[in-house]
Amino acid sequence: MKLSFFSVSYAGDWGQVCLDGSAFLAKAADRLVTAAVQSHRDLGVRAAALLELPSEGDRPNCNAVFDAWSAALCGEDAL
């Protein structure tokens, strides 16, 4: 599955987001910053992906932020 006009696969995008996110979160933790991953019409649009992404790097300073509109776009039950 292609995500965008770039020739990158979903798995490639997922891996890059995890690598970049882990590096960012390490620096953020040093400054006592907590980051939030929000669902949008992209990599984390499905609820399962949104819940999985913050756990990929095993960082306590990363949380998921739920957007009911994204769930509605996917036909998922927001409740």
Q: What is the pLDDT along the chain (79 residues), one digit of tens a residue?
A: 444 444 457 677 788 888 888 899 999 999 999 998 877 666 666 777 777 777 776 788 988 887 777 777 778 776 6
CA 34/CA 73 separation, integer angstroms: 27
Q: At CA 35, angle to CA 71 and CA 7, rounded to 5?
A: 65
Amino acid at 35: A
Sign of CA dihedral 8, 10, 11, 17: positive
**pTM for the whole structure:** 0.65
CA 70/CA 73 separation, integer angstroms: 5
C-beta neighbour count of 71 within 10 angstroms = 18
pLDDT computed for residue 78 by the predictor: 64
